[in-house]
Structure 1
Amino acid sequence: MDATREAFKAIDRAMTGDSRVLEVGCGAGEMAERIDALPGVSLVATDYSDDCVEETAARGVDARQADICYLPFDPESFDVVYAGWMLDHVRDIDRALAEVRRVLRPGGTFVAVTGGDVGAPEGRRHRFSGETGERMLSRRFSDVRRQDLETATGDVTVFEAR
């Protein structure tokens, strides 16, 4: 299965009419470009890296430099927040998830994609992963759903949290 396609479907399902979407950790902007093309979407893509912000902006997407641990947005600003393959790199996952929760409107959805701990270096284990994500998300969200996928590059989990 294609994890990006499943994440995109989860984002699309979460939207109701016109929706404000935030992508954290947008990288080079491939997913941001796809999300931005959905009808009725107002997207802001963020990344910690200035280079990634520039690459994403070059795709015609509203891209801004931001740290997921200190999001520069008002509370309840977004209907959907998406984080693809980046939460395992966050230095303070509890703070990051608190920020995601803060900027989501009531009833909003957080979609996160991550790999598993299998084969991860010792220092990376016990960070956000397919194995730990559900427990971590349950601290901030009352409804957490997971979809485990086997891909050509390894196991991937797509989480939907409300």
Structure 2
Amino acid sequence: MTMTKRFAIFGSIGLIALVGVVVLGVVVIVPAITKAPGPGDQFAYPIGWQLSRQPDAENTATARITLNEDGTAEFAGTSMGRVERSPDGRSCVSEPEEAVSGAGSWEMDQDGALRVRSDVGEAVFLPGQGRFSGRDWSELSGPFCDGTSADFSPTAATR
């Protein structure tokens, strides 16, 4: 076998290996970088939060939300309504029904917000800001279109 044929064979093998590495990188790395991280990236399912108690609030009823890995959700005492866009472009809940309890579904939307849906309506939750960067799902804020919000902390089982 001549030297030229050896270079051609090894060059072809090297090119095939390089193409394989590039394809693997695109298939594995790009989706990992571009997908909106959800609570399942930080905690194990089922994941639960409860309404954070406000020091000046008279009502001590506790709202709670639990997310299951299969996309189902359970909630109690949670405000749900119609999700709209606020003037600054964020998702928020308008005309909320108070103290909705039951089961429904959940998903991450294209903005990286958590949406919980039921027969009564839906709620949207935003993660807290991480210490250095990114999102921190240990704290949730449920924004309402009137400018108020409901803040949630993880349940003992989630921590």
TM-score scaled to structure 2, two decimals?
0.24
Instruction: Determine which structure has more spread, i.e. the larger CA radius of gyration.
Output: 2
Give 1 or 2: higher strand fraction. 2
